[in-house]
Structure 1
Amino acid sequence: MNRKIKLLWDFRGEDAKKTANHHTKHLKEFTVAENLPFYSIDVLEINPMLSVAFIIVDEKNMKTFRDALKPHRGEIAV
């Protein structure tokens, strides 16, 4: 069974949500340009000063995304 991995980028400050939303556009562009599959790309607003952009990918593709996009952290997606 192949696990799903969530790669995350943290954005802080007054424009955190706006910046995280902008980052998701680049994540989508990357998946199209590299023809890579993914499950979900979205933003979580933790609080008004912290938002997180994320992409959920198959574990087998995680290294490709990680090496190219340099996420701040990753976790097993549920």
Structure 2
Amino acid sequence: MRKLKLIWDFRGPNALKTAEHHTIHLKEYVSIEKLNIDITGFEVLSDMHAIAFMVVDEQDMKPIRDALKPHRGQLYQE
């Protein structure tokens, strides 16, 4: 089964802090909705660009995408 990485982009001098904070909300969503999602987090792409992300099974992606409105997505590779 393919996994997809849903991504939220944050830019600017506060990008990292914003991505870290957004990750907290993603984890809260997983808990509230009782989803079987183990991979959430954030990454620094540059000093002015960070992302928050969540990895979901392809079959579960649409309702999560519609609820959380990620900026983009890509195939997840471990």
Coarse TM-score class (shorter-chain normalised): over 0.9
CA deviations on 1:12-34 (whole Å, 9 max, x unpaired) are: 01000000000000000001111
Q: Distance in 2 between matches of 1:55 and 1:5?
A: 8
**Counterparts of residues 13-52 of structure 1 (less than 5 Å):** 13-52=12-51
TM-score, normalised by the number of residues in structure 2 = 0.95
2:12 alignment partner AA: G
Structure 2 regions of 5+ residues with no counterpart?
A: none
Give the residue type in structure 2 aligned to 1:62.
Answer: M
State how far apart, in whole Å, the 2-side matches of 1:38 and 1:48 are.
28
What residue number does 1:55 align with? 54
User: 1-side partners of 2:38 and 2:16: how far apart?
Assistant: 21
For structure 1, the 5+ residue unaligned runs are none
Give the SS at the match of 1:44.
Answer: strand
Number of corresponding residues? 77
Superposed CA RMSD in Å reads 0.7
Q: When the two structures are superposed, what TM-score results if normalisation uses the length of structure 1? A: 0.95
Aligned equivalents of 2:48, 2:33: Cα separation in 1: 32
Q: Could you tell me the percent identity over the aligned residues?
A: 51
